Chain A
């Protein structure tokens, strides 16, 4: 098919036989069931949305289609034939291509070489035929209706352009199914429009596009059918005409709160943290809120809404462009974690392996790391005090460990998180910021962490908790703040918040539009 045909043809009707069918796929990682019933049917020429909360199993499903994960059970049919995908190469060979949110190109190679890496077009004597590669790349870009110079190095391409290169690569593989995993998360509105034009061009070529997005208005703008997932299970697939945004949200969240969340009612005390009009250009805008003693404030929103970024700015890891952070009546200087720590702020970051722990260092050293000043005698660290401090906290938090001298990397995820918590609690903070405090840890330890947070609050500590898990936010927080695209869009008291109302605020659907 030539570029002209693609540009003029209108999207064809959705055919009957599915191009790709995943039926009742399950996948567990250890004790964690990531996917209990992953099912999706993709037809030629359709853009098919896959929606669900964070942790609904979408990423696992994508990785199964990508050949990265092998399902424990269930079957995959491609073109009606039972298929097993052993690795990414097999997936590509079967006509499935994945476009990730942040593609990984080769910065030092040209765009054309990126498209054809490992399978460059060969000419005479098995030499690479650069002219042919350039022509084929140009043809792919023409079909997609975008202008990119194939000779350019990939270094410095915008995320949007990198995605286009990946899509051109998919086309060059003759992909029949293209999976886009939250492609619009890092795109400007102009770039989103261009991506949608590309999706329409793909549909016109009878490619099936599986479109994963948290932005439901985008789903309605570009998709013909929607598959909804919840808690690792398929809920339903329906044509877009039969759905409303509110209906989708209800299907995404409808579940009971479990008993993971011990919550003691406490009366909040004096104001501790006052964030006023905090702005970091392009990341978050005009964010204002207060946190008081004895309360947990939950910071909710979709991944990428700027939650962690706000927390990092408060703690001084990142600088902000405007606004103030006040701790206990004193304005904190911009960009100084040391000042924030001095004012009684503690910060348990999102990624404990990268940001929270020195993995190869012993448990006791890790626990003492933020309190070294107190352990000093005559300018030297007292080993005895360090050991005592660590042993004390290990008991308090019921840490399961071999010896305090063992490296932290020998602990389980949940116990590692306890070490990070100990490190900060050892400083007796007045404000504890926790970013995804229970991500990737088992249910038992999770409940322990929740109990610990509850205890701290009843002792008068103020807690700011970021979590992608709605039940955690609903179960633990006294007040809930919702960020969307860097702005604070809702604040609700515990009693008024529901999963649906948070999701509505987080995805930008006004409460009024609820049917």
Chain B
């Protein structure tokens, strides 16, 4: 408990810094774009309706999806204009959040302009103000309270939504929330949420001070509010000292415990070799691979079967060694991505059931399951039902479940534990399989490929021998049992460890040498 809190608090300053920079920049851009748009729209009745409809439409897209959409959009744009746009991290998050913040600013901007007394506008024209003078001397000061109310709304929304930037690889307070949710570390979730709420309240309060200052013609209030806001952003801009970017390695991780642990282990090895590291957590499967291919991420762990079916879109299922060899050649040829080697264990997709229930129904294989499936409920992770592996299993066995629901991995295990699901899409390296006394069903028709854990390296680092040497100790060093135990340390409810602590345990020399990972898939 105390260790978890200390971990979360240690990560806090850097995440707060990143969070302020991102949301501050997004709000600033939204103001710089939104205000002129609003003023223009107020004078052009015909443009106003489509403009307000557009910014309203942007708001209806869930923020999470809006952020994710900019990943492929930026990749395509970059390819079209032959510029390597960073498609992951700050840029997509900034664009999405700026768009998101436009609605309240544009809407209030239009309302502010329309709420002005027409006789005051006539007077402004009548005394001979130019358009610019009228804007600066009359329209902006008189519309300011309504305008600032819009900016306040935008600020609170943006600071909240910026937690989602974590999912496109931009560090934010969302790092604490997402990793906390994933590993059921509620202290992390709480710290992340509380910090985001404090930031939002502080920004809202300072903007309120500016608003009151303008309404009461109190310049000190306006100046204090603006100065404190500027100071916060300026403080956030002070970079902690870091080495040259040549030595800065970006490590990717998908959104489950094993990935956090392995990313921490990779970071540990690289730091020992003198590299500086940065973590991009909670990436979706497809995003993670494209990020390494584009060089936005330098190294991460993926699984051969996942790449085979999802990235290469292959439907044939060769034996593990041939699959790995062919995969390595294909990725190197197509994207310049290098498979540095296997880690020593496999994390396969498997269908699992509670042992008792499986025995009662006489189910030992997926073929057995197919007969009973129409009466059973499947709990899968969010990706599984849309992955080719599922279609392959579905077709090979004629599987039809009575009901299929998606959960985030943590809640998927909860669902089977409390009886609201009968079958789940498990990961074979998951410590919870043993802990919950589940059995994994065999795959007699070989519908699922092998899923050896491999280290993938971006084209930029592919030929870097000192980089490869730093990671070499990880290769073929993690037997499945150790991975399961490390995963369970993070996932269990009691005596919970952080992914970093589990990684340190994983990297300790094993007490007794064991045979390496199963290669028999």
Tell whether A pairs with B: no
